[in-house]
Structure 1
Amino acid sequence: MALTGRDKTWLRGRRAVGLLAAGTAAVLGLATGGTVTQAAEAKPKPTHTQIELLAINDFHGNLAPNSPTSSSGNVNGVPAGGAEYLATHLKQLRAAAAAKGEETVTVAAGDLIGASPLLSAAFHDEPTIEALNGMGLEVASVGNHEFDEGWHELLRMQTGGCLPDGDGQNNQNSCPDPATPFTGAKFKYLSANVYFENTQETLFAPYKIKTFKDGRKVGFIGMTLENTPNIVTKSGVEGLTFTDEVETANKLVPILKKKGVESIVVLLHEGGFPADPKAYNSCPGISGPVVDINAGLDPEIDAIISGHTHQGYNCSLKDSNGVPRLVTSASSFGKLVTDVRLSIDNATGDVDRVNTLANNLIVTQDVPKDGKTSALISKYQTLVAPIANKVIGHLTTTSVSRTTDESLESPLGNLIADAQLADPSVVTGGKTPVVAFMNPGGIRADLESNAGEVTFGQAFTVQPFNNFLVSMDMTGTQIKALLEQQFSGVNGPEAPKFKVLQVAGITYTWNPAAAAGSKVVPGSIKIAGQPLVDGTTYRIVTNNFLSDGGDGFPAFTTATNKFFGGLDIDAFANYLTAHDPYTPAPTDRISTGS
């Protein structure tokens, strides 16, 4: 998919918004377009209706709390997250609102499932949908990871039903308890900008109108990031078209207004990057796509609940009329809840933005666990134990790190690439791959061990996507183009991060000071120790996400004679078993220099 004008603007400038220092009073922040920090409540007006909006995003099936020493399990050092605690915090917030005579609505901005821990993923994320049902979630936009198992499976997440997956085949088991069928999500998925190709029919409803007891209406527009086809497996979105978020949302505004809706909130699965990631309740120097999306959205839209970047922020950004508008994100994994108090003018039905406040609250673990959620987690922990606890190998170190060196190569990236290269399932017609490529974004955690023992559950935490491995033919010229794509286009130096592929069977040097398109040092590329030859055809292996050109690597789409093998997690697990105990290899495949 070509970059939109908005994407190009962001990549060129990544423009930031001038913001006030944290701690500025909420009303002052809203009036000036500065940082929003709601430590204290503004006084509600008697002429306004107060509605509490509770928001999460990027939950990714994190039912059990993550380690408090990892970035996934704390906020600024405070242990945070876990579905049992999230459920309790939501109940407490609703009770506090009810005590003030205010109604609530609970919403989400995508990626609730997908890239999930084994506890959820082993059961096709059915446990997470059940947990969110219990938490009282009402409406959610569709994120890119909702498509990890394809749009047909996403429809099943909404409507329910069981998969005939062979009662645990490939370490997954739909509806493992015959006495408890999967009935689907009680909340409504929205996808205003996801259409079936050549139709005007959206995958899910584009919006939902919630009418409160006093007759007040709030419209929620659900938006998936336009770039989804470039960052998910092609087969998962085949037959779908993704349209521009701004254009799509703006077209829906007059439709909602005709239905009597003056208060409009966009649930956007796209986000930004505050200059200080720890400033979760403000947004100093925020940049990224959400800044330009906000600037382009119709001023009639009153608030943006965003996600995707896994950042926590609480902003007031000016719309195209220069009026401040609330833009928030609740980090990821259920570590934060955004508590928004919409103040709606009874006379106009519109949101009074000056008196609409937000507060990002840490989901602390000093509250009682929600009993029903605990029982749900306990049930699936018992069901997943035989899969998760199976020891598949040992490490001679405590862990294998995904942290990269100066050349952006990591020990864990090497291990995964080696596993792909050694996998027999991708050998066809006597042709065995000689090079492997792995996308670093698919490496979700370090490989940990229990006193040296590695379980399938720990391996799955590293590679949770269940991608297939694909072998294919590429010429030396195509491989050169592929390597340059690591440092140009959407992976250029102004992008949020490079996507330097982790490799096996190939070595090369790249020059950070060289211009895009000529970063790879001429003559440095070697395969099996021999110089790369432009006209020679090499058999390579990667996952199906990259094979489809994902992460900005279209060179993979020019490869020929593609053959699908087994799952990447199986190759990973089998390699650890075959090389037991495993010692991390040195990071000497990629180097920097001139």
Structure 2
Amino acid sequence: MSATPHRHHGRRRTHRILTAAAGLTTVGALVAALPASAGESGAQHEPGHGTPGTSQPGRYQDVQLLSFNDLHGNLEPPSGSSGRVTHQHEDGTTTTVDAGGVEYLATHLRQARKGNKYSITAAGGDMVGASPLLSGLFHDEPTIEALNKLDLDVTSVGNHEFDEGAKELARLQNGGCHPTDGCYVEGKEFQGADFPYLAANVLDEKTGKPILKPYWVWKKDGVKVGFIGVTLEDTPGVVTAEGVKGLTFKDEVETINKYAKELERQGVKSVVALIHEGGQPASTAYNYDCDSPGAGDGISGPIVDIAKNITPKVDALVTGHTHNAYVCTIDDPAGNPRMVTSASSFGRLYTDTTLTYDRRTGDIARTSVESANHVVTRDVAKAPDMTQLIDEWNTLAAPIGNRAIGYIAGDIGNSGTESPLGDLIADAQLAYGRELDPETDLALMNPGGIRAPLTYAAKGSEGDGVVTYAEAFTVQPFANTVNLQTYTGAQLIQVLKEQVSGSNAASPKILQISSGLTYTLDLTKSGADRVVTDSIKLNGAAIDPAATYRVAMNSFLAGGGDGFTTLGQGTDELVGADDLAALEQYLLATTSAGSPLAVPAADRITIVK
């Protein structure tokens, strides 16, 4: 199936620029004066289009910007809902399309580049981290090698680039074998990324300087486009404390505005910001038109305020983090529309944006910018070099990844306020916690730590219902430990309220809870009141604010991650093994081929709407 994208044009507005000869002229007038092939009709310029009969380039040059974000090491096609996108038809109906896989992504990008002499490929962060076993087992070296083969030109860092700390990120950039695992192939040293990672707002606490390059400039035949890369300022709130140790994360807008001025001083007036922060579109369809009549505010979330405040010197924003798909315009501080895009996640989409470069001014003619998200369909030929890369790493991973660790009776999903897979993981951590300390009362799991569903259908040589180590690794790839801490009942109640208040008020993070813990979430109310206090019970008994409770959770939550500051105030901490080992142990102990695990009911939280 080949899905037709919606191509989005920047809304027509008057945008004043200064030309050397004509003084103040509107871009609208300039575009109107272009030949038909260069206007807003969507027709492509010929690369280097100039005066007939000469080899001189014309004034206006189309620059192709291909972009994607949040790959998370998904080299093989992601499974289940993680490997599908929603297409919206003109009549409003929707269908889903299987998508993703770096073998297909490579083919699509290479086809898209054909005929485009001026083509740049950029990414919006989280290329690595939370990766499936094929990449994660090898500290994401396979993904960096794949991105090199994809001819990625530049990317921003994302929060997951810090999962293993700044030193490991530097190794991914610069190369060298892993400090403890060594080289994975005898005689072959990891070469690092051929492309620059940009980290303009990530500073070394001691020096006050960015830990990696803040910006990078693409140049070809006199055309110059600058890229500034930032991650979300709240990266410390979504990464383990160890991962961001010694680092300071600065405001996204202030940082981008600072370096846009620096680029201008260097004569670079065409600028793209790569921002690992995003928004929520009003529709989940990848081809939803944010700016269509009647759409209203087609996108919400942090990226809106960021986009509205970034200097007009920046011409387009490539974003990420929220794993959503959108192609929208958001007005800059001067009131002019500016393209803001995101290509979902896991390599399921890529964005194709045309930037019309004015050689006379060195700037982008904003009114002729157009963009569209395209599906990485699986109906094209696989890129042979990517197949070879995957096969080589799979050969190394197979002895570990193919091992059966459990059996399930059906798909165990990870979506919804309370998910079946969330229940399973919480129960596994409760069981493990009770091995460490029989007094363990309950377990909590953060939903963001559950990266994929467990699917029943067989994959490769495994049988239906078999859970392999590789599948479980994809679900929980962070190598967090299972920690035990003690809290008062009052603190436990506060933790549950922090799901929907404080930093989580606008975008709630509902903890997955172990068997025995129940409560009501009333969505008709606001803030902390959405958690009904007198409904919170453990094994049928109301939580006693004065009593103490022993709680199992991963080390990320134990450190107060995801806005759960109260969880960072526990006492009598006991650190156990990693959370994946706890899940494996639970499945091995409670399931078999003849007695697979039934899909959990996900009925511990009562939702009132």
Whether the 8 Å CA contact 2:233–2:249 is kept in 1: the answer is yes
Aligned to 1:208: 216
**1:398 equivalenced with 2:410 (yes/no):** yes
Whether the 8 Å CA contact 2:11–2:337 is kept in 1: the answer is no
Rate the CA distance shift 1:215–1:456 in 2: closer, same or farther, 3 A: same
How far, CA to CA, are the matches of 2:599 and 2:97 in structure 1? 32
Displacement after TM superposition at 1:333 (Å): 1.5
How far, CA to CA, are the matches of 2:568 and 2:376 in structure 1? 43
How far, CA to CA, are the matches of 2:98 and 2:238 in structure 1? 30
Aligned to 2:62: 50
Rate the CA distance shift 1:536–1:182 in 2: closer, same or farther, 3 A: same
Partner letter of residue 47 of structure 1? R
Displacement after TM superposition at 1:201 (Å): 1.0
Displacement after TM superposition at 1:501 (Å): 3.4
Rate the CA distance shift 1:515–1:187 in 2: closer, same or farther, 3 A: closer
Structure-to-structure mapping, 1:190-201, within 5 angstroms: 190-201=198-209
Displacement after TM superposition at 1:535 (Å): 2.3
| Partner residue of 2:149 out of 129, 134, 157 | 134
Partner letter of residue 40 of structure 1? G
Structure-to-structure mapping, 1:130-529, within 5 angstroms: 130-165=145-180, 175-212=183-220, 214-280=221-287, 282-284=289-291, 285-395=298-408, 397-404=409-416, 408-423=417-432, 427=436, 432-449=439-456, 450=458, 451-492=464-505, 495-529=506-540
Whether the 8 Å CA contact 1:232–1:545 is kept in 2: the answer is yes
Residue deviations 1:287-318, cap 9 Å, x none? Answer: 12221111100111111111112122222222
Residue deviations 1:497-540, cap 9 Å, x none? Answer: 44243234433334434453334434433334443222222221
Gaps of 5+ in 1: 1-21, 33-37, 167-173
Residue deviations 1:218-263, cap 9 Å, x none? Answer: 1110010111111111111111111110011111122111111111
Rate the CA distance shift 1:533–1:550 in 2: closer, same or farther, 3 A: same
How far, CA to CA, are the matches of 1:515 and 1:310 in structure 2? 26
SS at match of 1:60: coil
Displacement after TM superposition at 1:341 (Å): 2.2
Whether the 8 Å CA contact 1:426–1:565 is kept in 2: the answer is no
Whether the 8 Å CA contact 1:270–1:289 is kept in 2: the answer is yes
| Partner residue of 2:9 out of 20, 26, 29 | 26
Whether the 8 Å CA contact 1:30–1:316 is kept in 2: the answer is no
Task: Name which of structure 1's ranges 291-300 and 417-426 shifts more when overlaid on structure 2.
Answer: 417-426
Whether the 8 Å CA contact 1:486–1:501 is kept in 2: the answer is no
**1:543 equivalenced with 2:554 (yes/no):** yes
Partner letter of residue 93 of structure 1? A
Displacement after TM superposition at 1:28 (Å): 5.1
Whether the 8 Å CA contact 1:426–1:563 is kept in 2: the answer is no
How far, CA to CA, are the matches of 1:587 and 1:482 in structure 2? 20
Whether the 8 Å CA contact 2:82–2:452 is kept in 1: the answer is no
Whether the 8 Å CA contact 1:74–1:81 is kept in 2: the answer is no
Gaps of 5+ in 2: 16-39, 50-57, 88-95, 292-297, 459-463
Residue deviations 1:469-519, cap 9 Å, x none? Answer: 111111111111111112212322xx2444243234433334434453334
Rate the CA distance shift 1:354–1:473 in 2: closer, same or farther, 3 A: same
Partner letter of residue 531 of structure 1? A
| Partner residue of 2:123 out of 108, 117, 136 | 108
Whether the 8 Å CA contact 1:426–1:566 is kept in 2: the answer is no
SS at match of 1:487: coil
TM-score by length of 1: 0.86
Whether the 8 Å CA contact 1:425–1:565 is kept in 2: the answer is no
How far, CA to CA, are the matches of 2:373 and 2:6 in structure 1? 14
Displacement after TM superposition at 1:583 (Å): 3.1
How far, CA to CA, are the matches of 1:536 and 1:251 in structure 2? 52
Rate the CA distance shift 1:441–1:253 in 2: closer, same or farther, 3 A: same
Whether the 8 Å CA contact 1:426–1:432 is kept in 2: the answer is no
Displacement after TM superposition at 1:47 (Å): 1.2
Whether the 8 Å CA contact 1:426–1:564 is kept in 2: the answer is no
Residue deviations 1:419-452, cap 9 Å, x none? Answer: 111115982xx56422110112222222223423
Whether the 8 Å CA contact 2:419–2:512 is kept in 1: the answer is no
Whether the 8 Å CA contact 2:433–2:552 is kept in 1: the answer is no
Aligned to 1:91: 110
Partner letter of residue 272 of structure 1? G
Rate the CA distance shift 1:478–1:107 in 2: closer, same or farther, 3 A: same
Whether the 8 Å CA contact 1:392–1:577 is kept in 2: the answer is yes
How far, CA to CA, are the matches of 1:235 and 1:90 in structure 2? 36
Task: Name which of structure 1's ranges 49-58 and 129-138 shifts more when overlaid on structure 2.
Answer: 49-58
TM-score by length of 2: 0.84
SS at match of 2:115: helix
How far, CA to CA, are the matches of 2:347 and 2:211 in structure 1? 26
Residue deviations 1:555-592, cap 9 Å, x none? Answer: 10111222221111110011000112333444443335
How far, CA to CA, are the matches of 2:486 and 2:559 in structure 1? 14
Whether the 8 Å CA contact 1:190–1:222 is kept in 2: the answer is yes
Aligned to 1:5: none
CA RMSD of aligned residues (A): 2.6
How far, CA to CA, are the matches of 1:511 and 1:485 in structure 2? 14
Matched residues, percent identical? 46
